[in-house]
Amino acid sequence: MGGIAAIATELGHKVTGSDTNVYPPMSTQLEQLGIALSNANDLQQFDDTPDVVVIGNALSRGHPAVEYVLDRNLPYTSGPQWLLENLLKDRWVLAVSGTHGKTSTASMLAWILESAGLNPGFLIGGVPENFNISARKGESPFFVIEADEYDSAFFDKRSKFVHYRPRTLILNNLEFDHADIFDSLADIQKQFHHLIRTVPSNGLLLVPDIDGTTEFNNDISLDKNFAEVLEKGVWSEIQSVGSSVHSMFQTSKITPDASVFDLTFPETTNNSASNQVLSSQKVRVEWPLIGDHNMYNAAMAIAAARHVGVKIEDAVDALAHFKNVKRRMEIKGIVNNITIYDDFAHHPTAIQTTLDGLRKKVGNDKIIAIIELRSNTMRMGFHQSNLAHCWQQADHVIILNNNLSFSLDTIIATSETNVITKDSVDEIVTCVGNIAKEGDNILVMSNGNFGGIHQKLLDELQ
């Protein structure tokens, strides 16, 4: 919603907004744009009657602002619908979807297009450090968008990405998430197929081909979740990306942490609707990021950029200067040779891949993982069976035991890694101060501001 507000301001509209809790980096961005914020319950925000109220999906019936809008018959819409009608309907949309990696991949793709001189617009659920803004309208036909499967609004339960109408669509991965709005994986798969239905016949689907177990059309191996989606019908060209020998865009690690990898890609194919490659080339990518997951994200971004005419070599050059996204393995500070990282990971798979990348970077140095189980799905306990195994690369794990609907006792008992819980941020900070030593790495993982824990850790260690 903050990114949409930024784009609306750039388009010349007067924009105000409200929320219950705004924190950096989005609060800083809105302040710099001159967008006035008020508390979501403050009805004085409507004193200057708006031409339209864009309602985010966090608000439901019964909320004072929602009831005010409905009672007075004020014009209202959802964020995704407003974006479609005011911007996306006239653009070549490159959408990045999937359970994990949307923000990072969309940021990589936007930067590749920017480096190629295409001046794209973008809307990203984070702040890419190459741009220091999360959204802009752009000055070319191309618009990169992080395509979220979460619902659009209380009055539109379709996934947000159904409104975006992409011509280039990245399908990064698919797992069960968002248990507060989806009852099953099948519910999520249905929404993804709604998205696929909107891609034109001359558009492109980029699908993951990493270590899949299910074949699709005899030449693409996919994980079962995506294979079941594609079996419902596909009307666009498909290209595969991953480490499989069948991948059209094939990755191969050179260094264990994937900071250097090779990408083999097709020079020509026998026709636009086939995955069969007649000849191929190879390039080497050397860049600042780490982790297998980021390597695959980069390959997806390169393949998507190629669809709009960017040369592979130019995309590789751009990634060498990619600065990642705030809150994605972002170094918050180094005190007494102890490094504190901040990461947005809030799903077992994301926790596992993030820790795996850090382990391959730091070798045998100690890793202390601090985790806030903050997302609705995590707090409801839907992923608890996978938790005990997702943090094995850490030496110590500290969990904030707050507002959980399940007990962590069984998870702690079955974990091979030492796990402790604390009831407050201050208790965690004190604990870390007692166990952290020179050369250690502290990785904080949460999709919220975690009570300002990062600065508190820096102060404690100082």
- Kindly state whether residues 179 and 298 are assigned to the same domain: yes
Residue 324 falls inside a structural domain: no
Residue 415 falls inside a structural domain: yes
φ and ψ of 241, to 5 deg: -135, 130
Residue 424 has pLDDT above 50, yes or no: yes
Residue 325 falls inside a structural domain: no
Q: Which long-range contacts (CB under 8 A, 24 or more apart) does 35-38 make?
A: 35/5, 35/6, 35/9
- Kindly state whether residues 284 and 184 are assigned to the same domain: yes
Question: Counting runs of H as helices and runs of E as strands, what totals does the chain give?
Answer: 15, 24
d(CA 402, CA 82): 36
Residue pair 355/394 in contact by the 8 Å Cβ criterion: yes
Q: What is the pLDDT of residues 109-138, one digit of tens each?
A: 999 999 999 999 999 988 888 898 889 999
Quote the pLDDT of residue 176.
74
Stretch (H or E) spanning 204: strand 204-208
Name the residue range of residue 401's domain. Answer: 330-461
Residue pair 282/299 in contact by the 8 Å Cβ criterion: no
d(CA 79, CA 74): 16
Question: Which letter does DSSP use for residue 47 in this model?
Answer: S
- Kindly state whether residues 93 and 184 are assigned to the same domain: yes
CATH number for the domain including 45?
3.40.50.720
Residue 23 has pLDDT above 90, yes or no: no
Quote the pLDDT of residue 349.
81
Q: How far is CA 323 from CA 147, 189, 423, in A?
A: 21, 32, 35
Quote the pLDDT of residue 268.
62
Task: List, in sequence order, every residue forming a beta bridge with 371; answer none if it has no partner.
Answer: 399, 445
Q: Which residue has the higher pLDDT, 48 or 272?
A: 48
d(CA 112, CA 144): 11
Per the structure, the count of domains in the chain is 3
Residue pair 425/451 in contact by the 8 Å Cβ criterion: yes
- Kindly state whether residues 222 and 155 are assigned to the same domain: yes
Stretch (H or E) spanning 292: helix 292-307
Quote the pLDDT of residue 218.
55
d(CA 125, CA 135): 9
Q: Which of residues 74, 109, 127 is at a domain's end?
A: 74
CATH number for the domain including 351?
3.90.190.20
Residue 203 falls inside a structural domain: yes
Residue 141 falls inside a structural domain: yes
Residue 31 falls inside a structural domain: yes
258 CA to centre of own chain: 19
d(CA 285, CA 302): 11
Query: Which range among 146-160, 379-393, 416-430 shows the weakest confidence by mean pLDDT?
Result: 379-393
- Kindly state whether residues 271 and 390 are assigned to the same domain: no
- Kindly state whether residues 261 and 343 are assigned to the same domain: no
Residue 427 falls inside a structural domain: yes
CATH number for the domain including 195?
3.40.1190.10
- Kindly state whether residues 375 and 446 are assigned to the same domain: yes
Query: Which range among 116-125, 175-184, 340-349, 436-445 shows the weakest confidence by mean pLDDT?
Result: 175-184
Q: What is the pLDDT of residues 198-232, one digit of tens each?
A: 999 999 999 998 665 556 555 555 678 888 999 99
Q: What is the pLDDT of residues 321-380, one digit of tens each?
A: 998 777 777 889 999 999 999 988 777 888 888 898 899 888 999 999 998 988 767 776
407's CB contacts (< 8 A; 6+ apart) are none
Residue 133 falls inside a structural domain: yes
Q: For strand 260-269 and strand 220-222, is the pairing parallel, antiparallel, or unpaired?
A: unpaired
Quote the pLDDT of residue 215.
60
- Kindly state whether residues 257 and 337 are assigned to the same domain: no
**Residues 28, 33, 38, 40: what is their CA dihedral angle, to the nearest 10 degrees?**
-80
d(CA 254, CA 249): 16
375 CA to centre of own chain: 14
Residue pair 375/359 in contact by the 8 Å Cβ criterion: no
Task: List, in sequence order, every residue forming a beta bridge with 143; answer none if it has no partner.
Answer: 93, 121
Q: Which of residues 284, 319, 354 is at a domain's end?
A: 319
- Kindly state whether residues 191 and 304 are assigned to the same domain: yes
φ and ψ of 332, to 5 deg: -85, -20
Stretch (H or E) spanning 143: strand 142-146
Q: Which of residues 74, 95, 118 is at a domain's end?
A: 74
Residue 270 has pLDDT above 50, yes or no: no
Residue pair 260/254 in contact by the 8 Å Cβ criterion: yes
- Kindly state whether residues 223 and 372 are assigned to the same domain: no
Quote the pLDDT of residue 272.
45
- Kindly state whether residues 334 and 208 are assigned to the same domain: no
Residue 271 has pLDDT above 80, yes or no: no
Q: Work out the average pLDDT over 103-114.
A: 96
Q: What is the pTM of this model?
A: 0.79
- Kindly state whether residues 168 and 130 are assigned to the same domain: yes
Q: How far is CA 427 from CA 98, 116, 394, 448, in A?
A: 35, 48, 20, 18
Quote the pLDDT of residue 415.
84
